A and B are shown apart, each in its own frame.
Chain A
């Protein structure tokens, strides 16, 4: 039988040195940012009952979940998402807590991807959930500003894209079509597949709504999108959604982020617990979004506590890759010095090393028995200072 004891499963990998440091740096910068904005960390289990991820607004393809069973043969899944477990937590153990709740997480999600596509099955996400709050517009604004700050931690070459899921949902509601056709339309808009979308909509109706839906894949860009959209549809609900988005856009612009914000009314994502504003973050040179989030006002209700919420998650692995790519990843540090104890001075040299460590230095303890070997080792590793402890104590600078 073939044994797989020398490799890691498809879609996973070991992180070494630079890569590891890069990801930890991303996690550290983000968690510090979130803490400073008043968020508290929560950790949820890596395994959850499968049922947690089933529900009217929780659509995960069965084949994309990692599944196992517990001792009672109940179906368990490795969490594919962080927002849902936190919604569960906020609706159960935190049921009595005062609102708003500001929570952040820093943990992996697992997706069973198609083989050999170069996608990771294990991705570390760091993100926030802002639960409750008397004024949801203010909460949206806070979440978006925090998202911009999160992206700005890694340089200036980013964009934040905002949209509103209600724009699409309201339009298709007016068409009175079955769920399957709605899903077909969603998939086509999501893929900006104009030809097939036009064919499908031509078969349904020819009115203001279908005309707007046909234009939806192209409704993205800067501020002018609002004017384009306003001309397309005269419906009041649609207008108020556009207005809501415009207000947020203007507020973000006032913070000095105008050139960083893109509007896309065609964001129609599949994780459809989103009910309001949705947003994505991009970094130049990374082929997928690195930040995803939005408002989800119905999700907590499915766990028994009606409560609005908004949040986002950042893909730390993608940003770590980005930092390595643009040469901004921190370099692993070389120890400041190495401490060598001559024969009979093992205790003294360790005591000396401890003293230096307490002073804040990075110190290696030499495991060699001769000074010559220690020197050779230090030179190869790029360590510039050797402390020698013996009958005499002295320092060698390399």
Chain B
């Protein structure tokens, strides 16, 4: 039997949605559901192995080919700009990137260079570059909403799901940047060398979305 296909899943919500999808396909995910502290988990009947990792690491593992396939959010793909095939839009984990400011503030007015707080500096930079706009970007690790409230920044670029957190803190979305959802990514070499197995797997995934 061939070496199992190794699949990296983003821990947390995407992991649960993906396991749900795998079970719908008919894979036995007992080992993944009852994982304990193990990090590499077998799906015996699919000749697959699941690795659980943080979103950024999913891309790193797949890019280097130590995992063949990954499930990760479009947000991470855009921020990391990794070299992988991005084959399927899995449809779950839907949200969007947006630019938000304090309610009523005129972000695009005035001559001063605006400051943007974000967890996603590359996405923020690309967005403003495409507008030909100079901004100063500050990387924040925790709650980005705090930055405009403390007047560190004029606006934030962040993931917005329902917008409740923004509203509760007196912020509002002034522009959508792009929609986000979970994607199935594949290592560029695995796609070629294990074409049949991967295509079979991808077909099953597509059929069960």
Contact = CB atoms under 8 A, between A and B. Distances in A.
A47 interface: no
B192 A264 contact: yes
A226 to B, nearest CB: 16
B60 A282 contact: no
Interface stretch (A35-43, A68-76, A191-199, A386-394): A191-199
Contacts of B186: 192
A288 B65 contact: yes
Interface residues of B, number: 22
A221 interface: yes
Q: On chain A, which size bracket covers the interface?
A: 20 to 34
B64 A287 contact: yes
B65 A286 contact: yes
A195 B193 contact: no
Interface string B171-209: 000000000000000111111110100000000000000
Nearest to A283: B189
B84 interface: yes
A159 interface: yes
Given A117-B60, A118-B64, A221-B195, A286 B189 contact: yes
B88 interface: yes
A287 B88 contact: no
Contacts of A117: 60, 63
B66 interface: yes
B15 interface: no
B192 A287 contact: no
Given A117-B60, A118-B60, A192 B191 contact: yes
Contacts of B88: 194-195
B87 A220 contact: no
Interface string A271-306: 000000000001011111100000000000000000
Given A192-B87, A193-B85, A288-B65, 16 more contacts: A118-B60, A161-B192, A192-B85, A192-B86, A192-B186, A193-B86, A193-B87, A194-B87, A221-B195, A286-B65, A286-B189, A287-B63, A287-B65, A287-B189, A287-B190, A289-B189
